[in-house]
Structure 1
Amino acid sequence: MTDFFDQIWAFLPGPMRTQLEGYVTGFWKVLPQIVMALIFLIVVWLIAKLVRWAIPRLMARARFRRALIDVAVMVATVAIWLFGVLIAATIAFPTITVGKIFTAAGVGGLAIAFAAKDTLENFFAGLMLLIREPFSKGDFIDCEGFEGQVEDITIRETHVRQTDGQVVVAPNSMFFKNPVTILTAGELRRTTVICGVAYGEDVDKARTIIEDAVKAVDSVRDDIKDVQIFAQEFGASSINFEVTWWTGSTPLDIRQSRDAVVSAVKRALDDAGIEIPFPYRTLTFKEPLPIRTAPGEQMPQAAE
């Protein structure tokens, strides 16, 4: 085997043998430095492992959200490895300084930043959302036409389950740059329905009956917020009341409470003999219309 390698070595041109000898000599010179760099990287790995163990426990005691803890661990780990690799490179190759590395990384980082603009935008938007906490998991929100419950907030995107069961995965920049309505910011939310009564009915009596019916509904929190009944307008066929009350803040609470209130008001008005009119139409013609009867039928007699 040695003879074989000797033959190959002898076959190589002189300049190539000289160059290879220089490589081997240079490798043996820097080998101690490479070993020291590897030992330093092992230390960096131990430090990163310690940080991944310590940060979650410290932040959990301070009651930070899980997503924010994960972000902190990720950022700390990346920072430790970044500086560790830079220092290891300077140990292994003393001619490479940290300043030169940062200069090269700055040029490359600028190009990467332009190429990954949207990704970085969503990253920093997610970081700000996790720090500021305008909304959290479990909240019902409405943003840019998407309404639903927040299921998860990651460093890049937010998962919102809409009331029809579909999940919207939206970039964090959308929630950071646009207005977000937090439907469950409080325990209670106001809701309104319109109820009309006929023009021939007593408005004050109708208002009292509607108010009593609304207050009797269990989901109406009239113990905290007053029920408000206002005669709103003269409609085409009715006097319209604006019926306003407070109930739970989730979409299901709103729908269930509206169902109960509408049913209660309808029963109360029926029991009181107050008419909830449907639209009336009176048709007027310029000329009298002839009335025709089917064969065998008699013309209806006008009332005397």
Structure 2
Amino acid sequence: MNINFEQAWDDMITRLESWVDQLIINLPNIILSIVVFILALILSKYISRLTLRLLEKSKLQASMKNVIAKLVSVLVILSGLFLVLGILDLSKTLNAILAGAGVAGLAVGLALQGALANTYSGIVLSYIKQIKFGDWIETNDYEGEVVDLDLRAVTIKQPDNNLVYIPNKLVLENAIKNFSTTAQSRVILECGVAYESDLEFVRDLVNKTIVKNFDPVESVDDIIFLYTEFGDSSINFEVRFWIDSTSALEVLKAKTEAMIAIKKVFDENDITIPFPIRTLDFPKKVVVGTTEHPN
């Protein structure tokens, strides 16, 4: 028992001494490795800032520029780490790390297919001109202003100030309606007047009202006025005109102002906007019913 304990103690002392000897021998390499890794950390920061400066002239989104700069910084740090492993003569460890990274990368790629698809879609969206910060867009049944675009989702702010986060993959695969690609937007207003109304007078009155209340509309030639149908209780019309705005919210405001102005002039000229009604036409002789009294 005592012999085994003494043998074990001697083996432990011998191994510790060998470790100390290896530490002393490799001390310069260890110090050099620490210096190299620190330099890699410092260099990654400078290269990240340099990358941001180089990307300032590009048309990428601000969020994408930051992401690219961070990726470059991570690559510099990884390069420094691999260099440290080489200095410490840990080539076998480096090979094991690379092999493990390959297997882990395959497993992570299979598990994160959706996330990777969003990442790829985010990179593509950052290059196309159809969508950028400040644009008012409609996609996937959501409408609002683009306030952010990263590797995961497109963030839009709706007219009610709510934020909607749409995965990049859905935005890239579905139609995008961009209201900000032109300098103007069209306002479309539908209404109806009573059947006894003078249709020509109604048309002229509506056109003059639009010209009077909206500066971008210089004359009645800039307005499209169309009677669309004989409705159940009214003759319906549609009026279209342009405003100097690409915001859907401004379009709604202009439509509201147009409705107020048209309703006001209709009231002043005794023009009726009828609500749905049903007319019952009874013949002159109507037999309501007969009642027979028993004797």
TM-score tier after normalising by the smaller chain length: 0.7 to 0.9
Q: Residue 130 of structure 1 aligns with which residue?
A: 126
Deviations 1:104-138, CA, capped at 9 Å, x for gaps: 32112112222333333333322222232532222
How far apart in 2 are the matches of 1:34 and 1:133?
Answer: 50
Structure 1 residues 95 and 154, CA, compared in 2 at 3 Å: closer, same or farther?
closer
State whether structure 2 residue 153 is matched by structure 1 residue 157. Answer: yes
Q: 5+ residue gaps in structure 1?
A: 1-8, 291-304
Q: Residue 264 of structure 2 aligns with which residue?
A: 267
SS state of the match for residue 209, structure 1?
helix
* Counterpart selection for 1:144 from 118, 140, 145: 140
What one-letter code is carried by the residue in structure 1 that aligns with 2:135?
D
**Stretch moving more, 140-149 or 228-237:** 140-149
What one-letter code is carried by the residue in structure 2 that aligns with 1:264?
A
State whether structure 2 residue 82 is matched by structure 1 residue 86. Answer: yes
**Stretch moving more, 183-192 or 75-84:** 183-192
How far apart in 1 are the matches of 2:138 and 2:24?
Answer: 65
Q: Residue 276 of structure 1 aligns with which residue?
A: 273
User: How big is the shift at 1:233?
Assistant: 0.8
* Counterpart selection for 1:73 from 48, 69, 74: 69
* Counterpart selection for 2:230 from 231, 234, 258: 234
Q: Residue 187 of structure 1 aligns with which residue?
A: 183
Structure 1 residues 104 and 127, CA, compared in 2 at 3 Å: closer, same or farther?
same
Instruction: Tell me the matched-pair count.
Output: 282
Identity %: 27
What one-letter code is carried by the residue in structure 1 that aligns with 2:256?
D
* Counterpart selection for 1:172 from 168, 171, 181: 168
TM-score, scaled relative to structure 1: 0.79
How far apart in 2 are the matches of 1:152 and 1:72?
Answer: 16
How far apart in 1 are the matches of 2:221 and 2:196?
Answer: 32
User: How big is the shift at 1:253?
Assistant: 1.3
User: How big is the shift at 1:188?
Assistant: 1.3
Q: Residue 296 of structure 1 aligns with which residue?
A: none
Tell me, yes or no, if the aligned pair for 1:151 and 1:159 is still in contact at 8 Å.
yes
What one-letter code is carried by the residue in structure 1 that aligns with 2:210?
V
Alignment of 1:80-119 (within 5 A): 80-96=76-92, 101-119=97-115
How far apart in 2 are the matches of 1:225 and 1:100?
Answer: 76
Q: Residue 258 of structure 1 aligns with which residue?
A: 255
Tell me, yes or no, if the aligned pair for 1:150 and 1:158 is still in contact at 8 Å.
yes
Tell me, yes or no, if the aligned pair for 2:61 and 2:133 is still in contact at 8 Å.
no
Q: 5+ residue gaps in structure 2?
A: 290-295
Tell me, yes or no, if the aligned pair for 1:139 and 1:184 is still in contact at 8 Å.
yes
Tell me, yes or no, if the aligned pair for 2:137 and 2:180 is still in contact at 8 Å.
yes
How far apart in 2 are the matches of 1:97 and 1:16?
Answer: 25
How far apart in 2 are the matches of 1:133 and 1:74?
Answer: 24
What one-letter code is carried by the residue in structure 2 that aligns with 1:172?
N
User: How big is the shift at 1:258?
Assistant: 1.0
Deviations 1:19-41, CA, capped at 9 Å, x for gaps: 44444444444433333322222
User: How big is the shift at 1:84?
Assistant: 1.9
Q: Residue 210 of structure 2 aligns with which residue?
A: 214
SS state of the match for residue 91, structure 2?
coil
How far apart in 2 are the matches of 1:288 and 1:31?
Answer: 118
CA RMSD of aligned residues (A): 3.0
What one-letter code is carried by the residue in structure 2 that aligns with 1:167?
L
How far apart in 2 are the matches of 1:265 and 1:288?
Answer: 46
SS state of the match for residue 214, structure 2?
coil
